[in-house]
Structure 1
């Protein structure tokens, strides 16, 4: 099982390390936008290697975290937009074919109104799910400014933690 997982993840990790190694902060920005737009590029590999570059003196910790956090926000806007547009174009028009009724959407909307702020913030601190929370936030039509603020606030500690670990390990 481990060998199968490694055969899938190793090329992606090597790709991320290569991009950050070749392009520096521009590579960090591009990879983090893609990761937050639900493209499977691990933020862990990207930011750990960025932390290694910080340890080598290529750029500062603050700059690496700032670039990654802004990139996360931009990528999250893309996924949020897909979720928001997909609600009308896919879910509202064809949801019944997928087993999603208007009542399901109303329930999700109410839940997101009550718990959306905490959900967006805290899921930004969790691996894997952090990438995909933008989609339901868009579907639930969470106010864009609030989504953006909570996304940025949740991304900063995650980026700081990963980059700092990369500095210490590097």
Structure 2
């Protein structure tokens, strides 16, 4: 299966940055595979780092938007029926529901950092009819640092780009939790400044 996905992503490379966006729009294509590969293309000189990160971040929002739409317009029955085509299981949906009940709209941001919730978190956001612009903003803010890390790792690893996922698994908490805390601090600070 992974070999087929790699072939698909390689074929999309011909579309330049749009190819990266499209590859990430399909939720069955793991970002953990696409983004380091895009970093490798930067290493080869086919792309620039900032462009690959931007394309990856945009694709990282469009993919979740498909699941958001599925939740918003189809509700739970449609999600249960068609979620499997997006690699979303009943267990993912239940975890995401509980996460959404606990954290509300902020789940569109925080959920991106939680394995097992990351992909399916868009569905309860859609079912709750969360404001779409807020959903997009939270998702983009969460996806940007994750995307940057994966693309940068692929770039630094060069021909060994496929090791990026393994490295991220080992160090994800040390890297992503501080990033999440910084973003939370910035959002809280901005809100306080608005109230003054």
Matched, 1:123 2:111: yes
CA distance in 2, matches of 1:125, 1:90: 26
Kindly indicate whether structure 1 or structure 2 has the higher relative contact order, using CA contacts under 8 Å at least 6 residues apart: 1
Q: Secondary structure at the match of 2:140?
A: helix
Q: Note the C-alpha offset of 1:66.
A: 0.9
Superposition TM-score, scaled by structure 2 size: 0.62
CA distance in 1, matches of 2:33, 2:142: 19
Q: Secondary structure at the match of 1:159?
A: helix
Q: Note the C-alpha offset of 1:134.
A: 1.0
Q: Is contact 1:28–1:50 with CA below 8 Å preserved after alignment?
A: yes
Superposition TM-score, scaled by structure 1 size: 0.71
* Number of equivalenced pairs: 141
Cα distance, 1:80–1:50 mapped onto 2, change above 3 Å: same
Q: Note the C-alpha offset of 1:164.
A: 0.6
Could you say which residue in structure 2 is the equivalent of 1:96? Answer: none
Q: Note the C-alpha offset of 1:81.
A: 1.3
Matched, 1:65 2:65: no
Q: Is contact 1:116–1:142 with CA below 8 Å preserved after alignment?
A: no
CA distance in 2, matches of 1:128, 1:41: 16
Q: Is contact 1:125–1:157 with CA below 8 Å preserved after alignment?
A: no
Q: Is contact 1:13–1:42 with CA below 8 Å preserved after alignment?
A: no
Given the alignment, which residue of 15, 18, 21 partners 1:26?
18
| C-alpha RMSD of the superposition | 2.5
Q: Note the C-alpha offset of 1:128.
A: 5.8
Could you say which residue in structure 2 is the equivalent of 1:144? Answer: 132
Q: Is contact 1:84–1:141 with CA below 8 Å preserved after alignment?
A: yes
CA distance in 2, matches of 1:10, 1:89: 33
Given the alignment, which residue of 6, 9, 15 partners 2:8?
15
Structure 1, unaligned stretches of length 5 or more? 1-7, 92-107
Could you say which residue in structure 2 is the equivalent of 1:103? Answer: none
CA distance in 2, matches of 1:89, 1:128: 21
Q: Secondary structure at the match of 2:26?
A: helix
Cα distance, 1:44–1:88 mapped onto 2, change above 3 Å: closer
Could you say which residue in structure 2 is the equivalent of 1:100? Answer: none
Could you say which residue in structure 1 is the equivalent of 2:94? Answer: none
